[in-house]
Amino acid sequence: KPNRFYATQEMESTQTNSVRNHFILVHGLCHGAWCWYKVVTALEAAGHRVTAVDLAASGAHPARVDEVHSFEEYSRPLLDAVAAAPERGGERLILVGHSHGGLSLALAMERFPGKVAAAVFAAAAMPSVGKHMGVTTEEFMRRTSSKGLLMDCEMLPINNNQGAGVAIIMGPDFLARKYYQQSPPEDLALAKMLVRPGNQFMKDPVMKDASLLTDDNYGSVKKVYVVAKADGSSTEEMQRWMVMFSPDTEVEEIAGADHAIMSSRPTELCDALVKIANNLNTC
């Protein structure tokens, strides 16, 4: 099985030109770069450059959740990574966001459209031009709260000199039954040990600005949505609801993928990412 995991990627990632792919992977709420370990290993084995970032107060980032005062500050590690990348040329930049990380992707796409060859939303929040970014989070919370899907997650107040906010702590039952239910038990155990409180920044001005995302910038970047068909958190219905508002988005589907798509179906996700990269060669 491990041989197939790497050999498939090597076979499918053959480049038709000298341009090298650089994947930047962005984790979801409460997670960190650690959650991409299988995907990083496979993509690197296939010859691609890969960067997995820790957003502020996430993963191994040293800040505490109450020390990060804005969504901009939270997304800064990604924004800095994209800003440091060269303009399109010898290296092709492909952003991959998971869950809440899709909103940080959108901010980077709006700021640096000339540097991003494609953006992949893997079971991710994907906003649309003409709507404020917080719509995706509001709709998710509306659907989950009404059905009790947040289970044993806790909401904790954040008080700092920038005003009040709310942090979410993912409970072990929620992780086991709604997030990692199709994933290996080792990945669930890892998540239980490493998740940190996360701020959705629902009151942040960036989340409320309906004019933030523009056709010329965010709308000009190629988008691909990867649907996790066994997602018990952001359901398939919710994922397709987001795609509906961005009709030129390409769609890939992964059967049997739970919300932790990089853990439950890493080979299939890597296959999809390599396919997306190879399709850029023909554009």
The catalytic residue positions are 99, 231, 259
Tokens of 258: 């739970």
Give the strands of the sheet with 198-199, arranged side by side: 154-160, 163-169, 198-199
Give the C-alpha separation, 194 to 252, whole Å: 29
Give the C-alpha separation, 205 to 133, whole Å: 10
Q: Are strands 20-26 and 154-160 parallel, antiparallel or unpaired?
A: unpaired
Residue 17: CB partners within 8 Å, gap ≥ 6?
281
Tokens of 269: 């996700």
Cα 151–Cα 153–Cα 155 angle in degrees, nearest 5: 130
